[in-house]
Structure 1
Amino acid sequence: MVKIKIAFASEENAGLESRLSPHFGRCPYYVFVEVEDGKIRNVEVKENPYFSRHVPGAVPQFIAGQGAKVIVAGGMGPRAIDWFRKLGVQPVTGVSGKIKDILKDYLAGRIQLEAEPCGEHKGVGYRI
């Protein structure tokens, strides 16, 4: 039995129908999906408690605290990627679209499990 909880940065509170956010820390919601043996067992939407304020490292700790082992977002900075990895959460970036479609591709192995810092953060002293 393979169980995993995946977090998706979301632009809206529409569950799997939500659009993925282009940036993990500046999204208003996170969609948490529990998958067991390739089947969706639970979907939960939570508000980003740090949406209106910037607290370095707080979002990665929040995501890890929810039990997620993967975070999917359109992009994130290098420090956030490091935070997630240190907390045992695999960051995945460079994807876009509806969460249900991204999840389907992820479960089918069509999404690479890697993260590259998004362009706005490369070489910039942006802090997460």
Structure 2
Amino acid sequence: MRIAVPSVDDRGLESEMSAHFGRAPYYTLVDVENGEITGYKVVKCPFSEHGPGDIPNFLRSLNVDIIIAYGMGRRAQDFFNSMGIKVLTGAYGKVSDVIKAFLTGSLSLDRYWSEREEFKHEKRWGNSEY
């Protein structure tokens, strides 16, 4: 299984998640087998601007099965759903922590993510408190 996480930089598992999926400069792709991380790679977002479906199609071409994000627009979610790619929104923190929590079933999701100032103003955050 391959999980994509929008990231603020190219540090991979050590990166913080980007608050807004569609404006992330990087995506950390984490490969998982039998509940264990088997590898990862970081890809730079190839779009300085993008249209509907561009990023979902890009990530599908990289064989992504699951997207774990903080904020994501409804259209992007619909694109992923139509492609059979599972979307989880409301996750935040360091990529490695988020992936480990997902794998152990303890991932905490902020169901009010769309109401947060960080998302409304489209800021990218790192170690901010909620």
Q: Same fold (TM over 0.5)?
A: yes
The equivalences for 1:18-29 within 5 A come to 18-29=15-26
CA RMSD of superposed structures (Å): 1.9
**Under a length normalisation based on structure 1, what TM-score does the superposition of the two structures give?**
0.83
3-state secondary structure, aligned to 2:100: helix
Question: Relative contact order: is structure 1 or structure 2 higher (C-alpha 8 Å, sep ≥ 6)?
Answer: 2
**Under a length normalisation based on structure 2, what TM-score does the superposition of the two structures give?**
0.82
**Percent sequence identity over matched residues?**
41
- Structure 1 runs of 4+ aligned residues shifted over 6 Å read none
1:99 offset after TM fit, Å? Answer: 0.3
The equivalences for 1:23-62 within 5 A come to 23-50=20-47, 52-62=48-58
Gaps of 5+ in 2: 117-130
For the Cα contact (< 8 Å) 1:77–1:117, is it kept in 2?
A: no
Separation in 2 of the partners of 1:88 and 1:98? 26
Separation in 2 of the partners of 1:100 and 1:112? 14
Gaps of 5+ in 1: 121-128
Q: Is 1:13 aligned with 2:10?
A: yes
Query: How many equivalent residue pairs?
Result: 115
1:71 offset after TM fit, Å? Answer: 0.7
